[in-house]
Amino acid sequence: MLPLQQTYAEALPELSVPWRADLPPDPAILWLNESLAVELGLDPDWLRGPEGMALLTGQIDGTVAQAYAGHQFGSANPQLGDGRAVLLGELIDTTGRRVDLHLKGSGRTPFARGGDGKAPLGPMLREAVIGEFLHAAGVPTTRALAVLTTGERIAPRQGVTPEPGALLVRVAASHLRVGTVQAAAWHHGPEVTGRLVDHVITRHHPSADGPLGLLAAVTGAQAELVAQWMLLGFVHGVMNTDNMALSGEGIDYGPCAFLDVHRNQAVFSSIDRGGRYAYGNQPGIALWNLSRFAEVLLPVIDAEDPQRAVDAATAVLEGFEPAYRAAHARGLAAKLGIPVGAASATGPAGDAIPTAGHAAAPAAGGDDVTALGADLFSLLEAQAIDHTGFFHALTDGDPEPLFTDPDPYREWAVRRETLRGTGPDRASAADAMAAANPVVIPRNLALDSALRAAHLGDPGPVLDLLEAVAEPFAPVPGREHLEGAGEGGDDFLTYCGT
């Protein structure tokens, strides 16, 4: 049996409980991410065998359910946690990186809060598709190693018809969240919070200097992450603090979707009736979450002088907006084919905000690119233009036919050409544009159709979609039907089944 470690559970026993996954009646692998398995140092054939299936279904010793808390839709919930999941353990992958293996849909735990602990097939496949696309697009994200059917029918999340049960085996840098630190602070106090901070720093941000340095590192990582979401038109849908990972990865893809028509207030979640987590609100919500993170760090930032802790944390949080704007400008320059220079984002007092290895700032100047982008997005919204379709057409050279009134676009295009310049960097900028503008994304209607087919016993369409989103930047003959939005995608709703 594969030896797994539990360094988190050993370091913070207060924040997890030993727990074993339910034994599914008839488990079967529906999809195995073979390339990821190889990255993890796991033999796909071994995973399909008896020992591998024991791992993938949680029938191993030493598994735990993690505790966390959080703010859900702005309201504090002191007790959340892995209600239907277990942490299988940690392993070191082939690059030397420590990662978590986590199992969702594995039955009730002490954190289940009345739920059955089960997961339906559709949402588990949705998380796999979204994660694979975001990874292929270069966005830090959790990923699925496998999706298994369990051979049971479970209580429906929608309607009255029982649904096929499923398991998702998830790989993450870790499952440590803002909500994890909130649980430590709210239930255990500064000593446990301090040990947790040390563990997070060691695992994810080793250059961070203490809790204030950790806050700065997480702030920078989240600025980069949300900027990438916005550029791709991704709407997470449920940005609660328990869904903000301290590693900087995206996590928990439940009621998420992608823009078809560009709309700043687009909401695709059935439970977000007030639009709190609308597309255009995501940067502000990220800062709100980071502020809640800062609050629970205050006693370990400066135990002797609370006001000094507040002032220090506030100075770090004030770096989020410039870091976000710089990250967004860099990414937007790439999408628009504007050459980039060597400038970097800075935070308060000139301190570098981590940029996670992304492209340098645009040579034209971040403010120029930001202004150009703001006018573009207003134009796309005013004329109901597809977000992904526009950037793909721009990469090919001629998006003008997309506009019912092309004159505003022509004026905008002149400004873009000015920023692109005529120098030798223009060719490399064009290459960067092709690498930044996907042809295929998990379109709402195509993904929903594929999940419905899988629900009815035909996994073919979702397996095809998984292959397509893994290589999203080039057209693939036979998959043209995955490139467009289809009719009705803007009225699409997703449901929190993950």
Contact at 8 Å (CB) between 431 and 470?
Answer: no
Angle (CA) 412 414 418, round 5°: 115
Give 103's strand partners: 86, 169
Give 257's strand partners: 235
User: How many CA atoms lie within 13 Å of 122's alpha carbon, on the beta-carbon side?
Assistant: 22
Instruction: Please give the full DSSP string across 423-455, using - where no structure is assigned.
Output: STHHHHHHHHHHHHS-S----HHHHHHHHHHHH
Contact at 8 Å (CB) between 393 and 402?
Answer: yes
With the C-alpha atoms ordered 141, 221, 68, 498, is the resulting torsion angle positive or negative?
negative
Q: Which amino acid is at 459?
A: P
Query: DSSP code of 111?
Result: T
Give 362's strand partners: 340
- Burial (0-12, 13-18, 19+ Cβ within 10 Å), 430: middle
Angle (deg, nearest 10), helices 406-420 and 366-382: 160
> Of the candidates 447, 437, 434, which has an alpha carbon nearest to the alpha carbon of residue 486?
447
Q: Which helix (H) or strand (E) is 88 found in, with range?
A: strand 85-92
Q: Which two tokens stand for residue 51?
A: 């020992």
Contact at 8 Å (CB) between 343 and 369?
Answer: no
Q: How many residues does the chain have?
A: 498
Catalytic, 22? Answer no
- Which residues are within 8 A (CB) of 313 and not within 5 positions of it... i.e. 6 or more apart? 212, 215, 294, 297, 298, 301
Alpha-carbon distance 174 to 87, whole Å?
10
Alpha-carbon distance 278 to 285, whole Å?
10
Query: DSSP code of 359?
Result: P
- Burial (0-12, 13-18, 19+ Cβ within 10 Å), 219: buried
Give SS3 for 306.
Answer: helix
Q: Which two tokens stand for residue 57?
A: 């279904």
* Chain centroid, CA 342 distance in Å: 27
Q: Could you say which of 100, 242, 302, 386 is catalytic?
A: 242
> Of the candidates 190, 192, 215, 189, which has an alpha carbon nearest to the alpha carbon of residue 204?
215
The per-residue b/e assignment along 126-135, b for 16 or more CB within 10 angstroms, e otherwise, is bbbbbbbbbb
User: How many CA atoms lie within 13 Å of 210's alpha carbon, on the beta-carbon side?
Assistant: 10
Catalytic residues, by residue number, are 242
